[in-house]
Structure formats: C-alpha cells, structure tokens
Copies of this chain bind each other. A is one copy, B any other.
Amino acid sequence: MGILILVTGGTFDKEYNELTGELFFKDTHLQEMLKLGRNLAPVKSHTLMMADSLQLTEADRQTIVDYCKAAEETAIIITHGTDTMVETAKKLAEQITHKTIVLTGAMIPYKFGSSDGLFNLGSALAFVQTLPKGVYVAMNGCYFEANNVRKNKQDGIFEAL
C-alpha cells in the first residue's frame, strides 16, 4: 500500500501574480517537487483544496478528516498552511487513530528560491514511512505529536508545548 499526499494549499503552493503583485494559488507544485527529489516512494496525490489556512472553516477541516478516514491508505501526508496546521492536526487526532498522518508545509513559497518546502517534503515522506500510528506535524526537521505542538508565530517556527 502506498502513501497518499493530500494537498490543501498553504504557503507551500503560493505563486506570485505578476499582474496584480499579489500571491495566489494556481496549481500545486507537488509533482514538480517529487520529481526534483527523484522520489521513488509509492505516492498517490490528490488536491482536496487550495486554501490559505487562515481561511479554513471547521467544515473544511472536517472535509480533510473525512477524506483521510475514507482513504484506503494508512500513510498520509497533508500539505497545509502553517497558520492553522496545528488545529487541523488536533481534529485529525481526535477522529483517526489507526493511520500515520503527517502534516507539513512551508514558511516560504516553493517558487521562491529560498523555500524550505523541498526539505520539509523530504522529511515528511520519511516520517510517514517510519512513525507509528498517530497524527504528527513535520516542520523544521522535527516531528511533533498533534497534541504537543504549537506554531510560535513570533519566530515562525514549530515547537513542543
């Protein structure tokens, strides 16, 4: 059984709209990133939504949970905006216990030269293959259990409680 990568948006996938000068979502860069990393782990991906995580409603989060529940895969990566990644992780942890789910994202859009996205995707792919059942956030080269993590918005990092 392979790994499911569920795309939900976030900084990871933001692009620069040269006509308006604003950041926006077009398509996910996931396939391009997997190719760059020469990934050969058995991966299937699905774009569930392309949203700024500050805009996600509880209904959106439930949609994510439901999709993970229904998926046949037991190893799932979710690319997600960092601002509410912890909230989604907690909701997943409340409702799903028999799968390994790893949420990851980026502080800088992949299309920016200085993005942490490729590094994070590499670590998420490794964590999802090796961690026991549970819901985790993978950022900053570390993994955190869903109930023991917060985003430190002042420093732009994730840390244990």
Contacts and interface: CB of A to CB of B under 8 A. Distances in A.
Interface of A: 11, 16, 18-19, 21, 23, 33-34, 36-41, 43, 52, 83, 107-109, 111-116, 118-127, 129-131, 138-143, 153-154, 156-157, 159
Contact of A125 (B11, B19, B33, B141): B141
Contacts of A116: 36-38
Given A11-B21, A37-B119, A119-B33, A129 B112 contact: no
Task: Give the residue among A21, A36, A40, A129 with the most B Cβ atoms within 10 A.
Answer: A21
26 contacts: A16-B112, A18-B108, A18-B156, A19-B154, A19-B156, A21-B23, A21-B52, A23-B23, A36-B114, A36-B115, A36-B116, A37-B116, A37-B120, A37-B141, A38-B156, A38-B157, A43-B141, A118-B119, A119-B122, A120-B122, A122-B122, A122-B123, A125-B141, A127-B130, A130-B130, A130-B131
A37 B142 CA distance: 11
B140 A39 contact: yes
B41 A140 contact: yes
Nearest to A83: B21
A159 B18 CA distance: 17
B41 A142 contact: yes
B114 A111 contact: yes
